[in-house]
Amino acid sequence: MPELKEFDFSKLVLGSVQFGMHYGISNQDGSPENEELNQILDFANQIGVQIIDTASAYGSAEERLGIASKQFKIVSKIRPGTAATDVQEELESSLNRLKH
């Protein structure tokens, strides 16, 4: 297997659904504890990942990333079915949870 440093990880996006909820058919442990989450984010930062994908529907993921993720760009999605009149409120809520 090639060394990690041979890859350009800046082109990858780290998904965060498991940071905020028990998700995935093989997920036996639920969401990582804060220490493990910080280790994941530190490692991602060290290898060059620059973007984290999240959503308001991912449980507490936005709040947890808001505490720990200032070195990343964040891409967040609004809830499916959000009425056009509620989009601004939904975006402001996400920004508040992300502390941006």
Per-residue pLDDT tens for 27-47?
888 899 999 999 999 999 999
Question: The whole model's pTM is what?
Answer: 0.83
* pLDDT value at residue 24: 83
Is residue 6 in some structural domain?
no
The CATH number for 84's domain is 3.40.50
**Domains held by the chain: number:** 1
Is residue 86 in some structural domain?
yes
- Which residue range(s) make up the domain with 45? 12-97
Low-confidence ranges of the chain (pLDDT < 70): 1-5, 69
Query: What H or E segment, with its residue span, contains residue 73?
Result: strand 73-77
**Angstrom distance (rounded) from CA 88 to CA 15:** 24
